Homo-oligomer: A and B are copies of this chain.
Amino acid sequence: MEKHLFLPNLLKQRAFLTPERRALTFEKESYTFREVFKVASRWAGALQNQFDLKKGSKAGVLIKNTKEGYFLLLALQQAGITAVMLNNRLTFDELRFQVQDTSIKALLYDEEFQTHALELKKYIQEEHVISLSEMESKQNGEFLPEEQVEMDSVCTIMYTSGTTGKPKGVLQSYNNHWWSAVGSALNLGLKDTDVWLCAVPLFHISGYSILMRSLIYGMEINLHEKFDEEVINLELKNGGVTIISVVSAMLQRLLKNLGEGGYHPDFRCMLLGGGPAPKSMLEQCKDQRIPVFQTYGMTETSSQFVTLSPEDSLTKLGSAGKPLFPCELKIIHSGKEAPANVQGEIAVRGPNVTRGYYNREEANQASYVDGWFLTGDIGYQDDQGFLYVLDRRSDLIISGGENVYPAEIESVLAAHPAITEAGVIALPSEEWGQVPAAFIVKESPLTVSEVKDFCRNSLAGYKVPHHFYFIESLPRNASNKLLRKDLRELIEKGNFNEDR
């Protein structure tokens, strides 16, 4: 009896079972699982032999949604290297923090990010930075793929922030990804004609989970580098795609562009993540017969954890649904499990939940109670067990599907010599769902454009506040904790005008 679970090497097994099935379509080129396994094995050979990356080491990944990015992720799996997934929209400082935090042994990058990659070089052990075209040009026939994968081993690390503003690397094992894929299939069903359109980033769990499902289901990924609503609407109408993952901002753009005629009858799932959807949008989808599955999940749960079926989407408006089969959730109020309709912190349990954050003993101690992971999000369950998410943890802002943490922006702002302190909240945006807005207490004269420039140097573009308000002082409670709710109220009451 083994303590650790081993499964067949996922890509190798898939290439053995269904070699001629399509694995990937990208810019009108398609690849079968046999072909994909061949490329991934060659690249894995280069990683191990040419670049001396051993099994069990960690490599940073700075890629786009391209076929080369996809091949790289599979090559890393084949070589047994943990992929540290870097968000390609981050600034140099943000990237440097993550690169140093995980002590990666190499950085693998798409040429588009060469400037950052070369700047990061000296922060990487052995100063190993390798471009995708270097990978492509290396030949290596000596790679012998593993027969099995140890499911407990760490497949990916993805960063997420929190109250402190310091991002933490979420450990995602093969096991986590496997159970996420299985839980999703048990919920959404599985057809051998399924094709999943991936226009969400591969470096996010939303995109990476599609890659894992593709291997496990034997399903084609239709990969898009950019989200172009016109191109994607055409694909959904033509019938080559059965499932797509989107966030609200994407769905809004699809609806705006949709025009006459609905989607193809084979299109069966619009998987909508990243926060609750507005009623008007859901009603529009119902009118257009678009089957929307709302979901709630996070990097720590290796993608969706709770899903709402289309038949419930309007009767249970605002709900995220019920857990996937292998998953459990409960609401904790005053240290105890809350009854129905009482709000509290959302706690989750299941084999797709991370074992913890990389090198963050303190956060790990604080995040788990009796095997339950505390999400920090606030919500309640109704009588039938449907989950309603009221507030994302740490006043999380979800802007165009990206997580933005107020504390992170606040600490950047506070570092400006002319700023005493700052508070950041979410404001609604038609285009992005939410955008950050900053309240700033000045120490000396300062213009909005100066602050913006300053932010752009230290923060990814999507984190730079869209609205600025100069204020005398920030509302705080007795223990000096910033009251972001009060900032929101100031705006809602119309007491404040935006500074420009």
Which residues of B are found within 8 Å of A190, using beta-carbon distances?
Answer: 185-186, 189-190
Which residues of B are found within 8 Å of A322, using beta-carbon distances?
Answer: 16-17
In the assembled complex, the Cα of A190 lies from the Cα of B3 at a distance in Å of 30
Q: Which residue of B lies closest to A17 (CB)?
A: B322
Interface centre among A8, A191, A371 (most CB of B within 10 A): A8
Which residues of B are found within 8 Å of A325, using beta-carbon distances?
Answer: 8, 13-14, 17, 216, 218
- A355 at interface (Cβ–Cβ under 8 A)? yes
- A274 at interface (Cβ–Cβ under 8 A)? no
A186 to B185, Cβ gap below 8 A? Answer: yes
In the assembled complex, the Cα of A182 lies from the Cα of B16 at a distance in Å of 19
Given A17-B323, A323-B17, also A217-B186 (CB < 8 A): yes
Given A16-B385, A326-B8, A351-B7, also A2-B186 (CB < 8 A): no
> How many whole Å from A153's CB to the nearest CB in chain B?
13
- A229 at interface (Cβ–Cβ under 8 A)? no
- A369 at interface (Cβ–Cβ under 8 A)? no
B189 to A326, Cβ gap below 8 A? Answer: no
B-contacting residues, A317-333, CB 8 Å:
322-323, 325-328
- A192 at interface (Cβ–Cβ under 8 A)? yes
Interface centre among A186, A191, A218 (most CB of B within 10 A): A186
16 contacting pairs across A/B (C-beta < 8 A): A8-B327, A8-B328, A13-B328, A16-B322, A17-B323, A19-B384, A182-B182, A185-B190, A186-B190, A186-B216, A186-B217, A186-B218, A189-B189, A189-B190, A189-B191, A190-B190
CB within 8 Å of B: which residues of A? 1-3, 5, 7-8, 13-14, 16-17, 19, 147-148, 182, 185-186, 189-192, 216-218, 322-323, 325-328, 351, 355, 371, 384-385
